[in-house]
Structure formats: structure tokens, C-alpha cells
Structure 1
Amino acid sequence: MLSRTVSSLSRMAPQTLGAVNTVSTRQYAITAPRPPTELNQKLKVTIIPGDGVGPELIYTVQDIVKQTGIPIEFEEIFLSEVHYTRSSSIENAVESIGRNNNVALKGAIEESAVLHTEGELQGLNMRLRRSLDLFANVVHIKTLDGIKTRHGKNLDFVIVREQTEGEYSSLEHQLVPGVIECLKISTRVKAERIAKLVGGAGVVPGQSVGRDFVIFEPGSRHSFQEAMGRSIANPTAMILCAANMLNHLHLDAWGNSLRTAVADVVKEGKVRTRDLGGYATTVDFADAVIDKFRI
């Protein structure tokens, strides 16, 4: 499956930020509903806020959707290993995604050092990916106009990571005498280091892709617990994830307009969060995107 994904990605030509995302999930032959025939007809998607700053970023997207009139509705499912007593089950999450156009927008779920299910080695993230067969994690690394980078060059490339098989499956196995294992793993740390080339984890969108389902989530997949409740997290990646999701749902005009609004705010440089050298809050950035949004 992963080889087919890589082959598909290699055939795609780079696109500008204002156009449909280079890694549009429709390249994976995933079925998605046709666009609403009327503006008052809304599509439903599942949201999984996650831990850390995840809820703040998700609620930022919800506010943008409400203020701009984007024709989608959300069903919230809470999954958490940190707050496991309040967490919903994987089965409920899968059912929700299945009835809501096979799509979800997700914040990072912090993986606890102690799993609360006896005999279970896989955390919620892995169990969700395996339940939906989300075999590939796709992260789009692209330079945004207005963000100064050390190298000063325009970058546009894709990282594809296996996430249901091999070492990512969290299955123990015994080594067999006479067999040598030589692994080269693209870890989360490596992906985050590459993201710094274009401004950091806060501006890099990603998605977990399967044959039938797609979960859109920031490329870093880091909960940023230390910033929770302080409104300092950069929502760019999550908003771009929402734009990619809209394109996947065939709401291209809305997705492209949202992506363009983000690009305009970043290029203008008047509203910057702390990770980009400014003092704007998460809400400030979202408000600026709403002001720039045109459909």
C-alpha cells in the first residue's frame, strides 16, 4: 500500500499555496461525497480535539467555520490517554468517522507511559490508525511567503511514513538466529527537524491516509502540553489541515479561499505567533484569517 502511495505522490506536480493542495487525498482514490447542492446543506465531519493545545486549535477551526459560513458541521469525539476516565472508546470514534463522510480533523493525542488497558501494548493513536487502516502518514513541507528561513530557498516536498506495519505496529517479536535486521526509520523527531526548515511544526499540515478513511492532523503530532491554556500555539498547521479537508470533501472554493487567507496573513507579517517571532495569540491569528477570508 505504501509503495502505491509513494508512486502516486511522485506523479504529482508541485502546486502554489493558493491552489489545491499538492497532496490532496483524492489522489489516493478515497471516496468522498459530492459537494452540497445548496449552501444551507452542510457536510458532517468528526473532530477529535486530543490533548495539550489540540482543543484550542480545533476550536479555532470551529470558530473560523462559523464566522465564514463554511458548510460543514462537526461531531466531537474525545479521545485521551491522559484523561482516560473521560475518554470515549476507539469503537465510538471509528463509528463516528464512518457515518461522517469517512473524515476526521484531529489534534495530537498524548501517549501515556502507562496504558490503562491490561495487556494492551498499543496506545490510542496506533489503535485508531489500525482500526481505520491508515497505513500512510503524509506531511507536506512547503515554504510560506513571509517566513524567513535560514537557507532562503523555496522548499516543496512530501514526507511519507509507514504507520501500521513494521516497527510502528508496536508488536513484539523474537529475533531469529541467522537473520539480520537493518532498519532505517523516519521518526517523528526527524520529521519535526525537517519542518523547522520552513518555519517549524506550527506551519506544517499532515494527514493519515487509508483506502477508505482520512484523518487530517498537524504534521508534528506533538500535543505541546506546556502551552496548554495560554493561547500561544500557532494554529497555521491546523487551519491548513482544515483547508485540505475541505478540498477532500470537494468543497474546493472554500478550501482554496481558506488556504489563501492563511497565506495572506503569513505574508503580510503583521500577526505572528511566538514561534515566528511575534506576540499574537492563537485567537489573534484566527481573527486575522477570518478578516482575510473571501469566497
Structure 2
Amino acid sequence: MKQYHLAVIPGDGIGPEVIAESEQTLARIAEIHGGIRFETRSFDWGTERYLREGALMPADGLSILEHGGFDGILLGPVGDPRVADHITLWGLILPIRQAFDQYVNLRPMRLLPGVQSPLANKRPQDIDMVCIRENTEGEYAGTGGRIHQGTDNEVAIQTTIFTRKGTERIIRYAFDYARRYGRKKVTSATKSNSMQFNMVFWDDVFRQVAADYADIAYEQQLIDSLSARFVSRPESLDVVVASNLFGDILTDLGAAISGSMGLAPSANINPERRYPSLFQAIHGSAPDIMGQGIANPIASIWSGQLMLDFLGEHEAATLLMGTIERVLADGQVRTPDLGGTATTKQMGQCIREQLQRE
């Protein structure tokens, strides 16, 4: 039997609620499969810890995750109105991404069966995209500073850093992904008309890498018109490769046109597997509905499905994805974000019961 060790960080707000459903669903998958088992270790890292101790995770948190023998990390949303967003972001998720070289942020954007898009007359085959987002440098490199704060001479600088290594490997990953999953085209998000150094460099590397993939069509498009294309012609897009900031924005838009942020998963991947990869729903901590038990757990459960696929458990991953699709297509159980009245637990239980019937 193959045993996987998972670090589980429930996070803030609705995080513990949706992560609990993810854990139970993985346990059910393991039970049905019979050849895998998940052992979890939970960490109370997040805003409550910050308010108690001044840090979202302990000083040796990264070392604990690196040397704890973990095959993956399940993370809930992190954020709380009592603490500034840049503190919570730089206190947990960004240090993990950068320290563990999780340079691929993979975000599917799909209109699943039975879900209605806010875009008129769109069918599941019309919205089926994947964003491959650079995840460790670019606009979120963390380089910059502020001086003369509170004066008329105050200056703030945030530097975007693109390296050849970082840019080439994420673009190459996008083309490899397209080839591996039978996708036909890679679109690069750029802004090289106004950003004449870093984005022109990005474009150059994109064209150089694309030349190695004669079987994959490619194009580049300015980020502003590409954002409009997400709304006006999503069916014309397939794999999108983007910088850290552009990918972050595009994938929230992609989630919105796919019916709900509650359906949007992500994988933060170190492809070389030198470090554990991290899997997390892209939605926020939703403090306004925390504790009400009405959050949609599918984004978190789907993130677990991405983990199964990354771990090589393709049969289990296919089973879980198919089950999610069937539950949504059936339409009998829907959380409020999808127009229903089901609770978080009811949605999770429905998925697990359907798994049992497969």
C-alpha cells in the first residue's frame, strides 16, 4: 500500500470548514481505491496565531514542512480583516512558494456541467482553460521599499524581476502541459507595448521556447485585451501562460466566468519534487460567512484532485473529477453560491456518497 504524508493547514475564515471536507473526501478515495492511504498532520498556522504570537507560522515553519517527510501540503484560505492582507500573504503562502521553488501555479478554469456561467449562452465546452502562472518571481518577487514615509517626499518602489531561468521554465512547462494533455494552443499574456524591458524580454523567451514545439500553436496578447477576450470569447483560449501578477488577475476572472469562486482550485507545484507541492482553493477566507457552514467545498476538494494527479494517482484523480462533475450535473445539492441551500457538509457528503456508487 502506498502511504502519503500530508501537511494540512486549515487557515482562516471558512478554511477549516472546506479543508475538513477535503480531508474526508481523500480518506474516502483511499478507502475505495484500496491501495493508497493518507496520513495527515495539522498545523494551526494563520491569523489567529499571528494575533497571539506575532507570526503566522513559527520561525522554523519552512524547515518543518521541508524535513517532515510530507508528500504534499493542503492549505485553506488565509486572510482576516483584522490584519493587513500583505502581512498574511507574506507571512505564509508566499514564503512557502518561494522557499520550495513552487514555480508553477496551475489553475484550471472550467465551466463544469450543470453550472451556469454569468456569460450568456456559454456551455462547458466554451469555457475550458488552464492558466500556467509563474509563481516565484516577477511582480511578487518582493523587491522594493519605501522611504520618507509620511512626508511629501515619500517614495515607494516595487521591482518586477524576470530571470531567464524563471521565465523559460514556466513557459516551457506550459507547452509541455499542452502537449501532455492534448491541448492545441498556448497564449502568452504580455504588456510589452508599455513595459519595454521586462515584458519584451518575456516575449523574446516565449517565442524562443515556442520554436521547440512545432505541434502546438502559440500566440501572445496584451493583458488588457486578453482580459476582455476572457469575457467575449473564452472558447478561443486553451492554455494561458502568464507572469505572477497577470496570472493572478486572469484566474480570478476565469473563476468568475466559470460560475463561482467556490469552484476554483489551484496547485502550487515544484515539478522536480525537491520540495512538497501545495494545493489550495483560490478563493478567500470569506469572513462574512465563516461559521455558517455554507461555503462551497468543491474548490478545495478539486485542489485535492490536482494533488492526486500530481502524485501519480491518476485513477483516483479521474474518479474524483468525474464524481464532482456528476454531482454538479445532477443539480440536487448546491451551496448558496450556486443558487442552492445546501451546507458545506452536505455538499461534501454528496460527493463522497457518489464516489461510493461509482
- TM-score, normalised to structure 1, is 0.74
Provide the residue aligned with 2:84 in structure 1: 113
Q: 2-side partners of 1:104 and 1:227: how far apart?
A: 25
Q: Which has the larger radius of gyration?
A: 2
Q: Which range moves more in the overlay, 261-270 or 142-151?
A: 142-151
Question: Counterpart in 1 of 2:212?
Answer: none
| Residue aligning to 1:240 | 302
Alignment CA distance shift 1:90-1:238 (3 Å): farther
2:195 pairs with 1:195: no
1:267 and 1:46 mapped to 2: Cα distance?
32
Whether the aligned pair in 2 keeps the contact of 1:272 and 1:278 (CA below 8 Å) is yes
Q: Deviations over 1:194-252 (max 9, x none)?
A: 2111112111211112243311111x241112111111111111111111212222223
Equivalent in 23, 27, 31 of residue 62 of structure 1: 23
Unmatched segments (≥5 aa) in structure 1: 1-37
SS of match in other structure, 2:5:
strand
2:77 partner letter: A
Match of 2:43 in 1: 77
Partner of 1:215: 278
Contact 2:262 2:283 in 1 (8 A): no
- Inter-partner Cα distance in structure 2 for 1:148 and 1:207: 24
Between structures 1 and 2, the one with greater helix share = 2
**Structure 1: how far apart are the matches of 2:71 and 2:7?**
8
Question: Per-residue displacement from partner, 1:126-175 (whole Å, max 9, x unpaired)?
Answer: 21212112223221111211112224132211112223212202220669
Between 1:73-82 and 1:131-140, the stretch displaced more is 73-82
2:69 corresponds to which residue?
100
Query: Which stretch shifts more, 225-234 or 204-213?
Result: 204-213
Match of 1:166 in 2: 138
Deviates more, 1:181-190 or 1:279-288: 181-190
SS at match of 2:105: strand
SS across alignment from 2:17: helix
> Given the superposition, is the C-alpha separation of residues 137 and 42 from structure 1 closer, same or farther in structure 2, using an over 3 Å criterion?
same
CA pair 115-152 structure 1, distance change in 2 beyond 3 A: closer
**1:109 CA displacement:** 1.6
Count of paired positions: 250
Identical positions, percent: 25
Asked if the contact 1:192–1:201 (Cα under 8 Å) also holds between the matched residues in 2, the reply is yes
SS across alignment from 1:123: helix
Kindly report the root-mean-square deviation, in angstroms, between the aligned alpha carbons of the 2 structures.
2.9
Aligned runs of 1:1-295 on 2, under 5 Å?
Answer: 38=1, 42-68=3-29, 69=31, 71-84=37-50, 85=52, 87-89=56-58, 91-110=60-79, 112-113=83-84, 122-149=90-117, 150=119, 151-153=121-123, 154=125, 155-172=127-144, 185-186=245-246, 188-210=248-270, 211-212=272-273, 213-218=276-281, 220-294=282-356
1:226 and 1:189 mapped to 2: Cα distance? Answer: 22
Counterpart Cα distance in 1 of 2:254 and 2:320: 25
Q: Provide the rounded CA distance (Å) in 1 between the counterparts of 2:354 and 2:87.
A: 45
Aligned CA distance change for structure 1 residues 288 and 247 (closer, same or farther; 3 Å): same
Q: Give the aligned residue type for 2:42.
A: E
Q: Please tell me the residue identity of whatever aligns with 1:74.
A: T
TM-superposed CA distance for 1:94, in Å, is 4.4
Secondary structure in structure 2 of the residue aligned to 1:83: helix
**Range with greater deviation from structure 2 (274-283 or 156-165):** 156-165
Greater Cα shift, 101-110 or 275-284: 101-110
Distance 1:190 1:95 in 2: 33
Unaligned runs of 5+ residues in structure 2 are 146-156, 160-194, 200-222, 224-244
SS at match of 2:143: coil
State the one-letter code of the partner of 1:152.
Answer: K
Cα deviations across residues 87-135 of structure 1 (Å, max 9, x unaligned)? 5426334433543344111112217328889xxx943222121211222
What's the offset of the Cα at 1:270?
Answer: 0.2
Tell me the secondary structure at the aligned position of residue 350 of structure 2. Answer: helix
CA contact (8 A) 2:79 2:85 kept: no
Q: In the superposition, relative to structure 1, how do residues 51 and 44 fare at CA in structure 2: closer, same or farther (>3 Å)? A: same
Q: Distance in 2 between matches of 1:114 and 1:217?
A: 17
